[in-house]
Amino acid sequence: MEKPLRFDRMSGLSEEQLDELEERVAELLEEPWDKHAGRPRELTLRESLVVTCGYARQNIVEDVWADIFGVDQSTISRIITFLTPLIDRSTEEFRPTAEEAAEATRGAIALVDGTLWPCWSWDGERELWAGKYKTTGHGSLVITNLHGRAIFVSEPVSGNRHDMAKLKGSDVEKILKTAGGVFGDTGFIGTDYITTPIRKPQCRKLLQWEHEWNNRVSSFRAPVERAVANLKTWRILFTDYRRPLKTFKSSFRAAVGLYFFQESLA
């Protein structure tokens, strides 16, 4: 007997979360998914959401999804292209705004870290090269509290921008300046409000107290590194992005939205 597909494992969402997402996306459709007239769609709305969420969760090539559901690869491509912006919109309210993040960090200790969302190396897009990571992609800053709960994820920028360039004049800077204290890595050396490790001077080794200081700062920073790793369980943010470059921001927002959507309905 053929076993039913495990939609929760494929999509990263529980049955209840899929119910909620399906209802939200259905409200955004200009016409019903199943019109009960003409040629029926090859996949139901729920199956299509599983494919689209699963693509963000697993980043498996479209041919594999086509084999799983017994349809053509072109069908899978059309579904992902159509539904990703709708998932972006339907989960928007779950992505914390800068104002909400500033209120959450006001007077509290905040942690910040920069990360890269890798992608293919598209010809003519040299600004995507991130020297720190030795690959191409887009970069964001992530803010968490001391417990590692993600509070804010900044919009992605080209990978060639280092952390201080992402920070200056950004929403993240405004958020962090409301906090009671901030811990970051050496990429943030030069600010007067972020506590960072001591960078090793070229002329000597670090002193014992400097090593101890760095270890202390690293222990405070550990939760934000775990939070970034949790975000990247949506593997479209962890492995090379393969779809057309112009679709990245919508896919990014959808994946981040699904992360916060899942957290809020856990």
Is residue 217 predicted with pLDDT exceeding 70? yes
Share of residues in the chain with pLDDT > 70 (%): 97
String of DSSP letters for 104-151:
HHBTSEEEEEEEEEEB---TT-GGGEETTTTEEEEEEEEEEETT--EE
Mean pLDDT of the 50-60 span = 96
Mean pLDDT of the 71-77 span = 96
Higher confidence at residue 168 or residue 36? 168
What pLDDT does 2 receive?
43
Is residue 53 predicted with pLDDT exceeding 70? yes
Is residue 3 predicted with pLDDT exceeding 60? no
5: pLDDT confidence band, cut at 50, 70 and 90? low
pLDDT digits (tens, 9 = 90+) for 222-260: 999 999 999 999 999 999 999 999 999 999 999 999 999
113: pLDDT confidence band, cut at 50, 70 and 90? very high
pTM comes to 0.92
Q: 237 is written with which tokens?
A: 């943010």
Q: 92 burial class (0-12, 13-18, 19+ CB within 10 angstroms)?
A: middle
Average pLDDT value for the chain: 94
What pLDDT does 41 receive?
85
Is residue 142 predicted with pLDDT exceeding 70? yes
